[in-house]
Amino acid sequence: MNLQNRVDPWGALNSVDARGTYMGNRGILHNDNKVIVAQWRHKAWVICQLEFKGRKREVFSPNNYSELFLWMRRALYQQVIDLALSAIGSDTKRLSPLGVLQIVTRLQSLLVKLTSNCILKE
């Protein structure tokens, strides 16, 4: 049986075989039967690499955080982050209204690609 620990781009928790791009957690979300009983315990996401120094964990172990695996296409996600960071780094007083509109339009386009082309890593 698959655990309900795969997070899609919309934040929903799913039970599927696919691997995630990153691991994250939002606290202890599961009970002793490894069933999700809460969507989060804290609003912040803790994001981690999938592998670290060869360490292995029992997923959804008792009294420990719930391992969640995030699906996203890394290249598109990176484009969105890069564009957002470049926009934030810009001197907004020097941006024309057209410049702001262009940044918003590009971000919307990338977010549509990110969510509509969500491919699960297997």
Identify whether the C-beta of residue 43 lies closer than 8 Å to the C-beta of residue 90. no
**Token pair 């994250």: residue:** 24
Pairing relationship of beta strands 13-14 and 46-48 according to DSSP bridges: unpaired
Give alpha helix (H) positions in the chain.
Answer: 74-89, 97-116
Work out how many domains the chain is built from and give that number.
2
Q: Are residues 67 and 79 in the same domain?
A: no
The pLDDT tens digits along the chain (122 residues) read 789 998 876 778 888 877 777 888 899 999 999 999 998 898 888 878 788 889 888 999 999 999 998 876 666 666 666 776 676 665 555 656 566 666 667 776 766 665 555 544 43
Q: Widest CA span of the chain, in angstroms?
A: 56
Q: Are residues 106 and 61 in the same domain?
A: no
Q: Are residues 58 and 34 in the same domain?
A: yes
